[in-house]
Structure 1
Amino acid sequence: MSVDPARETPVAAAQARPALGLSTRFALLLAAISLALVATVCLLWYQQGRGADAVIRHGSESLHQLAFSSLQRRGQDQVAQSAAALAAPLAAGDRAAIGRILGSVRRQTDVVYVYVFDAEGRIVHDGAGDASVGAPMDDPFAFQAIASPEPVVQWSDEVMDVAGPIRGDGGRLGGLRVGYGLERIAAQQAEAQAALGERLQDLSRRQMHWQVVFVLGAVAATLLLSFLLERWFVRPIRRLADAAREIEAGRFDVPGLLDGRDSRRRDEIGDLTRAFGRMSESVARHDRDIRSMAYSDALTGLPNRLALRELLDARLREQLDDGGQLALLFVDLDDFKRINDTLGHDAGDEVLGELAERLYVCVAEVGGESAALARFGGDEFIALVSGADMRQRAALLAESVIAALQQPFQVLGQQVVLGASVGITLAPQDATGAGVLLKNGDVAMYQAKLAGKHCYRFYSRAMDQAVGRRMQMESDLRGAWERGELSLDYQPIYQLADGHIVGAEALLRWKHPEHGMIPPSVFIDVAEQSGLIDLLGRAVIARACEDAARWVGADDDEEAPFIAVNVSARQLRSGDLPEVVAAALADSGLPPGRLHVELTETTILGDEIQAGALLARLRGTGVRVWLDDFGTGFSGLSHLRRVPVDGVKIDRSFVTDVLRDPDDLALTSAIIAMAHSLGITVVAEGVESEGQHDILRERGCDLAQGFWLARPMSAEAMRQLCRAGLRGYDAEPRLDTGSY
């Protein structure tokens, strides 16, 4: 029977190909190591020879420099001393005394010539037979020596010429010139170089001897190691490979594996052999465990996505065949990312574990024994309920789930409150296929989030249209700024102490050509999820700086109002916020101190290290940093100390009930006191009544904004308000610009 090569398995193909065994590979490896050792020794020999040549060369150069430096110092000292001794005889014209002094110099072995010459360069005495007396010195070196305060030197190949001035009481009398021969220095240098070469050659021969011994020893050790590796490792591994092939074929009871000599070894080979002997039972047990793991979630113990899909297909077949109904509930946690970002993923896993237990209890109580719960992924869960009157039972289960998840969780000593958005779809009313049902449940869950979260929605055909509208909105939002559909309004910010306007917050508005005004809560969410917020954020910062640059008070000496611009988490994560702000300030000419950047608590606490570094860079340029919606996240005094901010804005949810709820009043007062203790300014937003204004001012709040003070207005209206120079809103009528 022939075998089709194209259908041959990779394992069979690998077994059919000739391969190098471990013994052959070890032999090749050891041969390569031996060759590398020999090559290394040869390289050492070569480098040693080059090193010896370099030592001789550098030593010769050093000896040369040392000898010539010593001769130069000796010549300069001798000329200086002799010139001092010749001053009196030369001034008196005592040739005999001059001859005696020059004779002592001339008797030195390396002195070639010696001359005494007068101030005009004529030779007075040559220390010998006076044959050259009266002859002029025909080179400029003599006159250079007369003019120099110290002896000077010039060199040639054979002579070092040293000359120095002879001074008397009446000034310079002439000079002394001595020539030193260099033959003796060259001979000494050659002798020393030859001795150094002999020493180095002798040292090289001894090193070469020991290197040869080392190479021979390494080769012998390599051969011994090859033999030991073959005996201790290669042969036992070959036997283990044979046993592994038996186990692969399903024959887990390999004869002689546990009672052979390898199993009695007390080393790693023995451990491996004994492990192979236990493999039959282990493989069977692990096969069962792997199948269990493949269909269950490791964190919650619930069925996972794979098990859910198989269960959903089976339930659909069963219910549809019997004419029954099935409800699928798509449960998604609201703002679960806050826990991972602020408390860590371990805390998030702890919350998911407790949450799964609560969900399981709800599903079992409301759905009955046939109900099923699975973790779809991340913070998403799927519940399946079957039977009669599914719409009412599904609604009851959704309400029970939402109520159960709204109960506080205790995590790391803190209370964490979560919510859930639930999407419900029914079969066969909405769909009969598992994939379509899951899609419908996801769409319904998303509509529940758009409805304000913490609620449930049943799927309807209209929801598909809503998804289409959202996609259309994203398409329309692209280019809306360039088309002039997006604009900025500004809500003034007042100082509570005297009612003086100190700044304004930039608010983005979208006037759609067909649908009119689109609420920011709608299109900002679309911009965040689509990534358009980066482009819009850059444009808003640039336009706000341009508008604020034209705001000046009625009194030119008065400080102009600042502009506050909101920055999203996506803009902060991009990492280029300081550059964007710097470009906007440079183009508009707005001083950095008049720009306030506002970020929410959760934006900063998502990554305190990166946020702190970026905010520090911004504040270093003079830009102020404000923390918006303060009090709604997991922030505290420790976070305020780690993240550099200049001010906090109390969330409007606390300001709204500050007159009715003692807890909100206490929390607001605590925020003000805490911020002031850190030198941080406090702004209250959402001030919509005189009572709110008065109690905030009484509690020491610094700034405030809200409809009771002034509504959002256009850039031109804001400029006029600044020019009007209103110093107290209590004394002026409310400004209503008709803004939305």
Structure 2
Amino acid sequence: MLRLIGGYLGLGMVAIAIILALSPLPLDFQHLFLGWGIIGASGALGYGLMGRWVQQLNQQQNYIDYLFGENPFPVWVCHRDTEQFLAVNRAAMATYGYSEAEFLQLRLGDLNGDRYSADGYANADHPPQLYHRTRTGQELTVELTQIACYYQNQPAQLMIVQDVTVQQQTALALQNQKVQYRILANNVPSSVVLLFDRDLYCTFAAGTDLQSFSRDHHSLEGRTLAEALPPEIQACFEPLHHRALEGESFTLELPLHDRIYLMSLLPIYDARGEVSQAMSIAQDITERKRLEAQLHRSAFYDPVTQLPNKTWFLEHLQLQLTCCQAGKTGFFSVFFLELERFNSVKYSLGHSWAVQMMVATAERLVSCLNLADPVARVGDHSLALLLTNLYTPLDATAIAEYIHQQLNQPLEIDSQELFSSVAIGIAVIDTPDRTEQSPEDVLQAADTAMNYARTQEGVNHAIFAPQMSEAAAARFVLEADLRGAIQSQAFEVHYQPIIALENLKLIGFEALMRWQHPRHGWIDPSRFIPVAEETGLMGLIDWWILGEACRQLAQWQKQWHGPQPLLLSVNVSGALLNQFGLRDRLRQVILTNHIPRGSLKLEITEPVLMQHPSAIQTILDPIHNLGIKLAVDDFGTGYSCLESLYHLPIDTIKIDPSFIRDMEHNADHLEMIRMMLNLAQSLNIEVTAEGIETPGQLAGLRSLACRYGQGYLFHAPVPAAQVLGLIERDRLWGWQSDNSPFPVE
């Protein structure tokens, strides 16, 4: 107010000075009176204006609050130094989705989106264009108008936000020549910006890194791409610019010489919306890539030993768990090893010796176990490793014992021999439920098992077993007994007749494994065969059964008087099919036992055929060429791909007993059997029905023209000693004489 009054008084004094300057001395009183009149008028005018100003001042605060709060654009005030929000209007809250209280807890940088660049704040010629992200994740392109001010006695910035997302999208779609040159004018460090027209003539070249292309902008502009750039660079650039001229925008990393460039290429459209030029922006990111590599190594590798660290191992373990859940990999085990002599070496020979001992131990483990992945350091004196396709306690124990044997050998460090004894804890991931664990829980389980091993006298390794149940304990015992049975050949092979249903004559037998446990008696195959398959023992069992059955077949052929050689059908697992040298070993079995061609048939289940449909043909074709027939066992259980029957050398399909069991009372099953028979007939494949138990089932299958069958209606599986009696019975009476009723065991 005082300034306003003084201003008007000053105006009066200026008037007096003008009168004095224009009037001759002595001063005329009329002029003096006129001067003082002007002063008075000025004062009156000032008084009137001052009153009006006071009235406006009283309304100013409410008006400012109204303009701030009701502004349709987001407006906020933030601290000039810390960028902490001090005040926001309703439009800002509505646009960004934060409440006022939440806004006041944020800083300006918290709104930045993924494409945010701090360069936006440095452009004084135009409101900076930034990328903000709302609370819901929506990205906005905004322009900020900034005004320096004070708010509540704090240095602040008043910012008005304009959402230009739509405008930016439109501008990018319809760039004109002016926009091109504004983009080119931007100063991008360590970069090169080039424009080429549709004839690949360079129309513009700029950037701080042109020297890396061995050219300056004068020699680049006006020349073709082939003329402007060295041949090795031109060979890389030309196909990229062709893609951009076809309307494609893309970014890639491009190594040139000893540098790495981030290349961004985009089409430039003219006023008609047609691609007229291609722009390429190459930024040298060599240093950034080097720093990224350093950061990655510091994040995932131990700086002392240079071994992968715990973070790396947990990520690797998480990936393995995820793949196992998806069925992409098999089960596995995690080994946790504690170097028991680490501290003693550390405090006697020094820390560097202890570190070298740890590194040498890890290298020994990688070498002796032939590991594809490195061993990780997961503690001060602890290592961890992951072994795939190792998912049984006995195998894990065998590996642990092997590790102890290897580490009992001295480690040579600087011509000094050191011994690295370890305590081992093992977490076996052998069920789908266990794959649901977190990697931290799995590693903790192995660590817990290691500590358990340390507390047990005479124990140097242990397998983690939470809530060990009697069933799980029995399974481990069964597995151990199964290994013992393999070593002692405690299995037996029983044989079930296969009958030609048309004339009810014997054509052969199916070999079935049986196991009489010394304490538990006969054990059902459904109990021990899955264990054998899981533990990798099934391949050994298969070869034993195959050899024993073929030996018996050679003897029975001498007593056989049928029109065709006696047929022997043997079940084999996927483990046997995947063994190296399978064909040669089968050939040796056939030659040794003088098995006629077509007399031996291998039965393979549908799941085995479907695991690797492309690879299985390369396995089966050589087997079939040996004169060995092939059958699909348990056909119709839902695993098979019918298309595979067209390509694989299959001679027989065996209808699963579940269909035969219900065929008399289930029309759907009867129709399924009919469809299988029609399919097999069209492919010239034989069909054997398994599980025939009633005369009604037999009659139904014969009415459908099913050629072969087996089941308890004819005979239960018998030991080898009773087979000759069945052969003689078939020769004398067949399988339908009243003198030879169907015996059932």
Higher helix share: 1
TM-score for the superposition, normalised by structure 1 = 0.41
Higher strand share: 2
TM-score for the superposition, normalised by structure 2 = 0.41
Greater C-alpha radius of gyration: 1
Q: Whose relative contact order is higher, 1 or 2, with alpha carbons under 8 Å and at least 6 apart?
A: 1
